[in-house]
Amino acid sequence: MIEAFAHPGLMLIFGGLMLALNRSLLRDALALVIPVFALWMIWQLPEGTLWRFDYLGLRVEPLRVDSLSRLFATVFTLMAAVGALFALRQPSRLELPAAFVYAGSAVGAVLAGDLFSLFIAWEMMAIGSTLVLWSQPGEAARRATQRYLMMHLLGGVLLLAGIAGHVQDTGNIAFVSMSLDSVSHWLILAGFLINAGAPPFSAWLPDAYPEATYSGTVFLSAFTTKTAVYVLMRGFAGEELLIYIGLFMVFYGVVYALLENDMRRVLAYSIVNQVGFMVAAIGVGTPMALNGAAALAFVHIVYKGLLLMSAGAVLHAVARRNLSDLGGLFHSMPRTAAFGLIGALASLAAPLTSGFVSKSMVLQAAAEQHLVWVWMLLVAASAGVVLHSGLKFPWFVFFHKDSGLRPSEAPWHMQGAMAILAILCIGIGVYPDPLYDMLPHPVEYLPYTAAHLLTQTQLLLISALAFFLLLPWLQRSQTITLDTDWLYRRLAPAGLAAAGRAYRAAAQPAERVTRRLRQWVGDIVVQHHLPSGRMAQTWPTGYMALWMLLLMLGCLVLYFWQID
């Protein structure tokens, strides 16, 4: 049964194909209108399963709507719209169509009610995001695209194997909550975690995202990891293992973001850090924790998009990406600096910003479950967020020692996109009720209590003091930070090369022995089978009679032996 409701994900995908066939003003108009129309479609859908049909005896549900899926579909289409405005003058004709296919696939994934539909959307996301990354010319982007695709194909293979095993075990493909009680469910979890940027495969994210165009990174930051957060919420809420994985991601992101010099790699590692908060909250699994994970995913897409837009505007203006080459840009790009500062304040969960009304829910959920050590580690990680995303990025880019660069302010469409996200960062922080109303569970939480305000203000002040005290050690130079991708980018090729040399060294004596053996066997064959050889000679009839007598005698001996 397919009810008379259009699928908003398909609307975005077909819209992307339309963009590829149009140019100039019509293309720009379609890029702005299509995601807004898709957003309107999402809010016209009633809750429930709207599309379902049987295929090979399995119930397929490509369109299922509830509060959680509507929340993620809303922010995905919103980010597609604002991202399209930011990328309006992007010279690449491939990026916007690919981004719309990417966004539509993400919407399809969160609206999927079965694992088959989820897998189709999952793989289309990989294709769309790869094309977005491929839109950037150059050898570095090409190699990053290859590594990115390799990692996501690995995740897709694991997910498909897990789905096949799940169908074999249960006989259905409904996407419901699962437990880690079978190999198939472990494989599904592994496929989800690779897209979430979980260890040991976290390095694909900071490796790939900074190699995209100034606008491509904005699209890449919004969909893949947050879709992974959604499916983890849907499939594995309450799994304790996710708490440990999330905590590892939190500190992994903090450490590497503090070490980095590339401004977009700093923000990419910050994505891993923030997704770690969400994964840990999913591991806690209470309604408060799941509300906190969903709210943080929503606002993170917004404020991280704003930070990456400000970084993209700087990259577009000066064509430099290292923090050591930037500084003092607030003189000539004051509005971009202001928008970046708002995004930074939201990322460090300052009061009256969207980060404050969402991240504090995660901390509160850990406290309510008496997970004291989890709460303490998350608070410590929050201080790390202040250091890298909240202070390091805006300070070194806009307010640090003047680099002498005097670029023009960002174009109007970039400023407009950043203004929309900045308004959302402040608006949600001041009035969070509309966001709370979209969360999957009823919200009984007041963010602006004296305890929350005092705790967060103290954390921000202490972290800011630590930042400026440690400023001489935080200044970066032209260095390369080694990550786990070193294992397959450097160690594995070096190991294969060494194995090849060892094989060639061992093959030389083995080849000599083989050559001599082959020659010896050949000589024997020639000796016996040439016309003058032993086997080609004429044998007397008596020899044949003698051999037949011996064979018959042998048969008689065996026969009487068995009788005895």
Q: Examine residue 558 and state whether it is found in any structural domain, yes or no.
A: no
Q: Examine residue 183 and state whether it is found in any structural domain, yes or no.
A: no
> In total, how many domains does the chain have?
1
Q: pTM value?
A: 0.86
Burial (CB count <10 Å: 0-12, 13-18, 19+), residue 502: exposed
Give the span between the Cα atoms of 404 and 332, in whole angstroms. 10
Print the domain residue range for 468.
Answer: 252-476
- Enumerate long-range contacts of 363-372, CB under 8 Å, 24 or more apart: 364/288, 364/292, 364/445, 365/281, 365/284, 365/286, 365/288, 365/289, 365/292, 366/280, 366/281, 366/284, 366/289, 368/286, 368/288, 369/284, 369/286, 369/289, 371/243, 371/284
Q: Examine residue 560 and state whether it is found in any structural domain, yes or no.
A: no
Q: Examine residue 349 and state whether it is found in any structural domain, yes or no.
A: yes
Q: Examine residue 382 and state whether it is found in any structural domain, yes or no.
A: yes
Q: Examine residue 538 and state whether it is found in any structural domain, yes or no.
A: no
Burial (CB count <10 Å: 0-12, 13-18, 19+), residue 455: middle
Residue 132 near residue 102 (C-beta atoms within 8 A): yes
- CB-side exposure of 102: number of CA atoms within 13 Å? 30
Q: Examine residue 172 and state whether it is found in any structural domain, yes or no.
A: no
Residue 324 near residue 477 (C-beta atoms within 8 A): yes
Q: Examine residue 393 and state whether it is found in any structural domain, yes or no.
A: yes
Give pLDDT tens digits along the chain (564 positions).
556 578 899 999 999 988 888 777 888 889 999 999 999 999 999 988 888 888 888 888 899 999 999 999 999 999 999 999 999 888 888 899 999 999 999 999 999 999 999 999 999 999 999 999 998 888 888 888 988 999 999 999 999 999 999 999 888 888 988 998 899 999 999 999 999 998 888 888 988 999 999 999 999 999 999 999 999 999 999 899 999 999 999 999 888 888 888 889 989 999 999 999 999 999 998 999 999 999 999 999 999 999 999 999 999 989 888 888 888 888 889 999 999 999 999 988 888 999 999 988 998 899 888 888 998 899 888 887 777 666 788 888 888 777 778 888 889 999 999 999 999 999 999 999 999 999 999 988 888 888 888 888 888 888 777 777 766 766 655 666 777 777 777 777 888 888 878 877 777 777 778 778 877 777 776 666 666 666 666 667 777 777 788 888 888 888 777 665
